[in-house]
Chain A
Amino acid sequence: ETGVTQTPRHLVMGMTNKKSLKCEQHLGHNAMYWYKQSAKKPLELMFVYSLEERVENNSVPSRFSPECPNSSHLFLHLHTLQPEDSALYLCASSQDPEDIYNEQFFGPGTRLTVL
């Protein structure tokens, strides 16, 4: 248990569906992250939120829409996805992103399949 939970753990959706991924951290951290891990590709950073403000958007298509209502919760809203968006979506949190000793704590991920 890392203190970062993600729901659902598995999700299958059609290309016309709208769904949301949820992440919650119980560590009192100030920053939260979304990563994408496709088969046989390195983890890719998608979004970074610090103190509930988006500070990084790594050229992610608009069909992925993040939301950070408070420092403990992070959502990734999905709509009109493509089959190539099938991947493991990982959430992470950290205490202070400006601290060089800052380590990121990852959740177990949501395995997404787009049909």
Chain B
Amino acid sequence: DAKTTQPNSMESNEEEPVHLPCNHSTISGTDYIHWYRQLPSQGPEYVIHGLTSNVNNRMASLAIAEDRKSSTLILHRATLRDAAVYYCILRPYNTDKLIFGTGTRLQVFP
């Protein structure tokens, strides 16, 4: 399984944009990039996913490098409720297995 590398932790102030990086240099051509987050005392929840093109949804944006060896999850205006552990996951196209790493713990300050 291809591996992802994320910083252990990041900090942000409320109302500011947050860019959460993920490196996946061994990604294969058929791996999709998925992001989940886990709020305190909850199970993970889906955030966004993409293959090659940048993606936007109501929660976040996903910017994917042209060579696909890295990606960035963008929260446009962080709120206190965005404090969570964010997981970047590579999912092969032919399986629904999610291989979680240790993720990035995001702290948001008022």
| A interface list, Cβ under 8 A from B | 2, 4, 31, 42-45, 48, 56, 90-92, 94, 97-98, 100-109
Report A-chain residues with C-beta under 8 Å of the C-beta of B98. Answer: 43, 45, 104
Contacts of B99 in A (CB 8 A): 45
Interface residues of B in 89-110 (CB under 8 A from A): 91, 93, 96-103
Contact A42 B32 (CB under 8 A): no
Residue of B nearest to A101 (CB): B49
The SS class assigned to the B binding surface is: loop
Per the CB 8 Å criterion, the residue count for chain B at the interface is 18
Report the minimal beta-carbon distance from A18 to chain B, rounded to whole angstroms: 25
- Interface-centre pick from B46, B91, B93 (highest chain A CB count, 10 A): B46
Contact A43 B97, beta carbon cutoff 8 Å: no
Picked from B43, B93, B96, B100, the residue with its CB within 8 Å of the CB of A97 is B96
**How many residue pairs at the A-B interface have CB separations less than 8 Å?**
48
Q: Do A31 and B43 touch (CB < 8 A)?
A: no
Given contacts A31-B96, A94-B96, contact A42 B101 (CB under 8 A): yes
In the docked arrangement, what's the CA distance between A112 and B71, Å? Answer: 35
Q: CB distance A106 to B97 under 8 Å?
A: no
Q: Which residue of B lies closest to A56 (CB)?
A: B97
A98 to B94, CA, bound (A): 7
Q: Does B44 contact A (CB under 8 A)?
A: yes
| CA gap between A48 and B96 in the complex, in Å | 10
13 interchain pairs (CB within 8 A)? A2-B45, A42-B103, A43-B100, A45-B98, A48-B96, A92-B43, A94-B96, A103-B49, A104-B98, A105-B46, A106-B44, A108-B42, A109-B43
